[in-house]
Amino acid sequence: MSPLAFLVTELQSLSSKTRRKHPDIREAAENLTTITNRNSDGLRSLELLKPIFMGCATKKLVAISLGSLQRLISLKIALKSTVPEIIRTMSDAMNQGVDIQLKILQTLLGLIAKYLEVHDALLGDLVMVVMNKMVHEDRKNVDVRTQDVDDKLTDVTLPDGTTTHLNPSAKDAYSVFEDLCLLANSDKSNFPKLEFLREIGDIRAGVV
């Protein structure tokens, strides 16, 4: 199936799921389906993902929309110019349930694996999507901890320069995710035992 045909299929699927509750999303999906069927140049625009972005902002359609987005990313049908908007959309959807948060993490990892454009500031934005959620959850837990548990919190400097307090488990999760991002950019990991994974980053960057 060609990228254009695949995109049309995803838009048609999203349109059929909206029914009467989200007419704006259905209209956008149907309009883009018509445009892409008539003109393949319609594929070269951020507008092609608009219905999917709109779906990610609704509780009813977010799972379906994320599934479509993951498939578009895995096949690199989503243009590299849409990556910043994808990251912003994932950030806005992070307040959904745990199952949706898992899909968001899978989507973000797909971006790192498929798009070399995810580096520097853009990679920092991606990491912050995850870290903001971790910090939010950790702060909720801090509110109900006793003082002796609070003493176990560790100061961690985030990519934007701010400092937060993480419990041991949250700090481990952050450290592993940070190292995976470093290795993906062929940088040295902070955990010596993960250094053997650097070859993965070298292969991705075309070094070896």
What pLDDT band is residue 203 in, cutting at 50, 70 and 90? Answer: very low
User: What pLDDT sits at residue 200?
Assistant: 46
Helix (H, G, I), strand (E, B) or coil at 181: helix
Q: What is the DSSP string of 41-89?
A: GGGSSGGGGHHHHHHHTSTTTHHHHHHHHHHHHHTT-S-GGGHHHHHHH
- What local confidence, expressed as pLDDT, does residue 139 receive? 61
DSSP lists the bridge partners of residue 157 as: 163
Kindly state the average pLDDT of the residues 15-36: 71
Measured CA to CA, the distance from residue 158 to residue 161 in angstroms comes to: 5
Which of 45-49, 150-154, 170-174 reaches the highest mean pLDDT? 170-174
- Where residue 60 falls among pLDDT bands split at 50, 70, 90? confident
CA 64 to CA 80: how far, in whole Å?
22
Partners of 154 in beta bridges = 166
**Least trusted range by pLDDT, from 2-11, 76-85, 132-141, 194-203:** 194-203
